[in-house]
């Protein structure tokens, strides 16, 4: 018996020693700036080691020496172009250096090498975030080239809807201008003869021009912005409280970008509860003054309301405002709040879906994006950030760790999993299988009813 | 038996064939940490049960230590005091350190495979008097689930392996382990010192899967355990053998983001077939079904609340039990390195012992507080 029971022990202890010897700790996946001297020295010794050069490039990135990082990573890719982490970090370095086209090329190449849907999704999210940066960069470039752009003819039938400004003291209503802008763009884009510019594109230009509320309703400013955007016409206006009443007033005008002439205007006032009716009223006046004859189908389409719930619309508007200032987590919370009030609010649903990608991209660390960090423990599975529910863990690491927990449980492992985040750290009943194992015969799972054990030896032994 | 020496060679071969990859993820732990705390649980029983009160206070401590990027080590033990009060005013208690588990785990590839080895070090009191054994065993029920279900069970080693991969939208995993136990002397006292006990080998297999469904994560697992024959020899009890029944644990869970937090709906069912000695059944088949809803909601950037609602049903061959629990815990980040989880839970239910005709009430309550320090 003794010999038999020790044989496996010897084998396992031998196995452990083999693991210990063979498992010399490999280098950390993400080198730090402190590793730079050692990596540079190693690279001198092995100038064609692509993995080593990649680590050197990452260390330069971590040290915020982005130009050097870019150069080193490019040399690593020259040795081996199918290097996913190098491509991702190269894209990040290009982003930091403002070379957004090059960043896009690097991410696109990385996306082709992505291993699985999760990684592909992360690259797609990063590209979506990059698009925002590109729009902002384009807005700056347009302002810098204002003189040249103003000489160029506008895109035929193009319309830019400026963010409607809010005039009033009610802070809860301040974001409503964004929501109305979104509604106006959505409605006008249903008319095939008009080409609507993206709301984000216009908003970024307004941000870059640092226009105040007055500037956003000034026809001359609108015309100037329209010319920069090469839009033929600009829609601008304001929402304001009517003092002493619960009513609001909505003014909108369409301005020719070429000469700042107001070609159409619409005004209406109604109780706040009638906001959507008010928006439609102004919309139809503008369309009518533009001389557009609506077909019955177009009239029906323009009459559609996105939601009947004003609070849902206000939450949606707050989401747009948060998204515009780059706070994607707050935007997600507001879109979710809008959907909680009206699950059929399609625009909120669509917006939340697209914003979610930006939110994930912002939270994802470079290490995880490059496949060098633990996705399950990274931002996608981490603690709530900014008061918004954390996206759930993805990847197969969770399944792997649960497998270890259930087949090789240990006191230390079970204890530390309480601190892993998410639901389950509290007093939930853990299945018997996750407790340290013990023989059945003596106590443990053999116990049955506690009362039956008192003062009695319950050893299930049947004599041969 | 002759194949066992192949194991180290096989492990070495796998290690040699799978060199570290740059894209590899980390092992079981990302940072070294030490965790500990106190957990108190007590059940009071109604008239006619024979036992008035069962309680246990346990002080667990554990250390998790990543060594390099792929190797993780954790070690943990507990000190526990188990007390039993009978209806005649009698009171017995037993206290001891438990066994210590030392677990090493090596992660291969990009979270592709984990090879683990658990050493059960006999720091607990494995040799007890019959009375001590009776007291400590009273906390071993799968229905009542005390924190410590065994103080000592001798030396054992458990090599295990777990693998996972992603297929389409599904994450799939499989794991297996084999626990090999050493022989030990279970009892002290007159007439019992010569008894030797050799627990049989235990094998576990698990398959698991999860995927995102909308914004929720659905997870599923099935764990199967089977056992070799336990042998007892020497001493006044004579020789004997026992074959424990197989066990099947099925667990299901859905974790969903709700508002600013998450809500988890979970269900697990633990089935144990009856053990047998020779041709005689031990009539100890049982089934424990547990379902619950728990949540985690941030109250502030550093504090979140984790409420819980749970029910558990016990179905042995004869008798039954049910418990309905309500509890909550708070997760408090005292600093970036220190986390605290205090919790409280109350259970109410009833139990009918094997052979009894009527049910008696059970009231349980537990208090716990765990703290973790992470070395950043």
One-character DSSP codes across B241-286: EEBPPPEEEEEEEEEEEETTEEEEEEEEEEEEPPPEETTEE----E
pLDDT (average), residues B103-129: 88
Choose the weakest-confidence range: A242-246, B128-132, B215-219.
A242-246
A439, A457, A458, best to mutate vs chain B, most B CBs in 10 Å: A439
Q: Is it the case that residue B94 has pLDDT exceeding 50? A: yes
Please tell me which residue of chain B has the smallest CA distance to A24: B68
B contact residues 186-245, partner A, Cβ 8 Å cutoff: 186, 196-200, 202, 204-206, 208-210, 212, 215-217, 219, 221, 223, 225, 227, 230-232, 237-242, 244
CB-based contact B327 A427, cutoff 8 Å: yes
- For chain A, the average pLDDT equals 76
B230 contacts on A by Cβ (under 8 Å): 439-441
Q: Is the pLDDT of residue B87 over 50?
A: yes
Residue B301: per-residue pLDDT: 64
Q: Which residues pair with B314 in a beta bridge?
A: B288, B321
Look at residue A428 and tell me whether its pLDDT is greater than 80: no
CB atoms within 10 A of CB B278: 12
From A201, A257, A199, A260, select the one nearest A230 (Cα to Cα): A257
The tens digit of pLDDT for each residue in A295-320 reads 988 988 888 888 888 888 989 999 99
Using the Cβ of B174 and the Cβ atoms of chain A, whether some distance falls under 8 Å is answered with: yes
Question: What b-and-e string marks burial along A400-434, b requiring 16 or more CB atoms within 10 Å of the CB?
Answer: bbbbbbbbbbbbbbbbbbbbebbbbbbbbbbbbbb
Give me B144's structure tokens: 């009542």
Nearest CA in chain B to A378: B30
Strand-pair partners of B93 = B83
Q: What's the average model confidence in pLDDT over A98-102?
A: 93
Alpha-carbon distances of A113 from A81, A101, A120, A370, B96, rounded to whole Å: 10, 19, 9, 11, 56
Structure tokens at A359: 């939110």
Give strand pairing partners of B167. B170
Record the tokens describing residue A385, joined without a space: 């950030």
Does the structure show a pLDDT above 60 at A114? yes
Taking 60 as the threshold, does the pLDDT of residue B55 lie above it?
Answer: yes
The percentage of residues in chain A with a pLDDT greater than 90, rounded to a whole number, is 15
Which pLDDT score is estimated for A217? 60
Nearest to B288 by CA among B242, B236, B248: B248
pLDDT at B93: 93
DSSP code, position A422: S
Q: In this structure, what token pair is assigned to residue A317? A: 């508007």
3-state helix, strand, coil in chain A (%, to 5): 60, 10, 30
Q: Using CA coordinates, name the residue in chain B closest to A369.
A: B23
Model pTM score = 0.56
Q: Name the percent of chain B lying above pLDDT 70.
A: 89
- pLDDT single digits (tens) A243-272: 776 778 888 888 888 888 888 888 887 777
- Looking at the complex, does the CB of residue B336 fall below 8 Å from at least one CB of chain A? no
Helices A176-188 + A275-289 axis angle, to 10: 40
Q: In this model, does residue B366 exceed pLDDT 90?
A: yes
Question: What pLDDT does A68 receive?
Answer: 94
Which residue has better confidence, A432 or B170? Answer: B170
In degrees, rounded to 5, the angle at the alpha carbon of residue A447 between the alpha carbons of residues A445 and A450 is 135
Q: Cβ distance A279 to A180 under 8 Å?
A: yes
B182 vs A423: which has the higher pLDDT: B182
Cross-strand pairs, A309: none
How many other CB atoms are there within 10 angstroms of residue A82's CB atom?
Answer: 11
The residue to which tokens 């995102």 are assigned? B212
For the segment B66-71, the average pLDDT, to the nearest whole number, is 82
A residues 230..289 contacting B (CB < 8 A):
none
Work out the percent of chain A whose per-residue pLDDT is above 70: 77
Average pLDDT, chain B: 84
């Amino acid at each position: 018996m003794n010999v038999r029971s020790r044989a496996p022990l010897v084998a396992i202890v031998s196995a452990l020693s083999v693991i210990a010897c063979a498992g010399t700790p490999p280098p950390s996946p993400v080198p730090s700036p402190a590793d730079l001297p050692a990596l540079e020295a190693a690279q001198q010794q092995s100038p064609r080691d692509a993995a080593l050069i990649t680590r050197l490039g990452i260390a330069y990135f971590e040290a915020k020496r982005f130009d050097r990082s870019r150069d080193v990573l490019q040399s690593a890719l020259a040795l081996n172009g199918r290097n996913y982490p190098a491509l991702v970090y190269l894209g990040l370095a290009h982003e930091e250096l403002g070379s957004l086209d090059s960043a896009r090329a690097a991410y696109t190449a990385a996306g082709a090498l992505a291993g699985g849907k999760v990684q592909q999704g992360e690259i797609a999210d990063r590209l979506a975030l990059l698009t925002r940066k590109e729009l902002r960069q384009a807005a700056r470039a347009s302002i810098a080239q204002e003189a040249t752009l103003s000489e160029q003819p506008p895109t035929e039938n193009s319309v830019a809807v400026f963010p409607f400004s809010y005039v009033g003291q009610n802070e809860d209503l301040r974001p409503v201008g964004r929501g109305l802008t979104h509604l106006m763009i959505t409605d006008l884009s249903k008319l095939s003869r008009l080409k609507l510019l993206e709301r984000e594109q216009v908003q970024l230009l307004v941000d870059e021009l640092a226009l105040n509320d007055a500037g956003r309703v000034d026809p001359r400013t609108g015309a100037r912005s329209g010319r920069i955007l090469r839009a033929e016409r600009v829609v601008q206006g304001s929402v304001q409280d009517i003092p002493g009443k619960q009513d609001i007033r909505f003014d909108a005008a369409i301005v020719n970008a070429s000469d700042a002439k107001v070609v159409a205007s619409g005004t209406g006032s109604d109780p706040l509860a009638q906001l959507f009716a008010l928006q439609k009223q102004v919309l139809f006046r503008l369309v009518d003054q533009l001389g557009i004859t609506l077909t019955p189908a177009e009239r029906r389409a323009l009459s559609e309301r996105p939601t009947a719930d004003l609070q849902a619309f206000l939450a949606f508007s707050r989401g747009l405002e948060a998204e515009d200032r780059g706070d994607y987590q707050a935007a997600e919370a507001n879109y979710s709040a809008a959907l909680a009030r009206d699950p059929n609010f399609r625009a909120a649903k669509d917006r939340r879906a697209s914003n979610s990608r930006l939110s994930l991209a912002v939270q994802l660390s470079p290490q995880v994006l490059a496949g060098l960090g633990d996705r399950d423990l990274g931002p996608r599975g981490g603690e709530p950030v900014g008061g918004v529910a954390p996206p759930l863990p993805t990847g197969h690491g969770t399944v792997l760790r649960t497998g270890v927990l259930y087949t090789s449980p240990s006191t230390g492992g079970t204890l530390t999993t309480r601190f892993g985040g998410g639901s389950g750290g509290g007093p939930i009943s853990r299945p018997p299988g996750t407790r340290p194992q013990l023989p059945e015969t003596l106590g443990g799972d053999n116990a049955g009813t506690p009362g039956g054990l008192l003062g009695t030896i319950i050893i299930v032994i049947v004599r041969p | 038996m002759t194949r066992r020496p192949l194991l180290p060679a096989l492990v070495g071969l796998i290690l040699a064939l799978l060199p570290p990859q740059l894209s590899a993820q980390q092992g079981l732990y990302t940072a070294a940490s030490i965790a500990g705390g106190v957990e108190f649980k007590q059940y009071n029983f109604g008239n006619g049960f024979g036992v008035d009160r069962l309680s246990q206070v346990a002080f667990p401590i554990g250390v998790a230590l990543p060594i390099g990027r792929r190797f993780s080590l954790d070690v943990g033990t507990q000190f526990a005091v188990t007390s039993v009060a009978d209806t005649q005013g009698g009171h017995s208690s037993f206290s001891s350190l438990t066994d210590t588990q030392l677990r090493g785990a090596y992660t291969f590839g990009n979270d592709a495979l984990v090879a683990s080895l658990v050493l059960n070090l006999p720091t607990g009191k494995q040799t007890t008097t019959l009375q001590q054994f009776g007291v400590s065993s009273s906390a071993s029920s799968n229905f009542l689930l005390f924190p410590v279900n065994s103080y000592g069970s001798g030396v054992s080693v458990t090599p295990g392996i777990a693998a996972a991969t992603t297929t389409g939208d599904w994450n799939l995993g499989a794991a297996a382990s084999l626990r090999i136990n050493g022989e030990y002397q279970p009892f002290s006292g007159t007439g019992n010192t010569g008894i030797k006990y050799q627990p049989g080998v235990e094998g576990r297999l698990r398959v698991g899967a999860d995927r995102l469904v909308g914004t929720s994560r659905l997870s599923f697992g099935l764990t199967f355990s089977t056992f070799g024959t336990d042998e007892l020899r020497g001493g006044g009890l004579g020789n004997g053998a026992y074959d424990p029944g197989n066990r099947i644990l099925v667990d299901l869970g859905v974790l969903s983001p709700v508002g600013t937090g998450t809500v988890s709906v979970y269900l697990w069912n633990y089935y144990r077939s009856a053990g047998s000695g020779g041709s005689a059944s031990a009539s100890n088949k049982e089934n424990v079904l547990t379902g619950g809803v728990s949540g985690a909601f941030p109250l502030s950037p550093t504090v979140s609340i984790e409420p819980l609602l749970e029910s558990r049903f016990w179905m042995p061959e004869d008798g039954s039990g049910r418990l309905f629990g309500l509890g909550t815990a708070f997760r408090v980040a005292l600093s970036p390195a220190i986390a605290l989880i205090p919790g409280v839970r109350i259970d109410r239910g009833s139990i009918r012992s094997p052979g009894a005709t009527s049910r008696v009430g059970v009231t349980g309550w537990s208090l716990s507080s765990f703290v973790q320090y992470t070395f950043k």
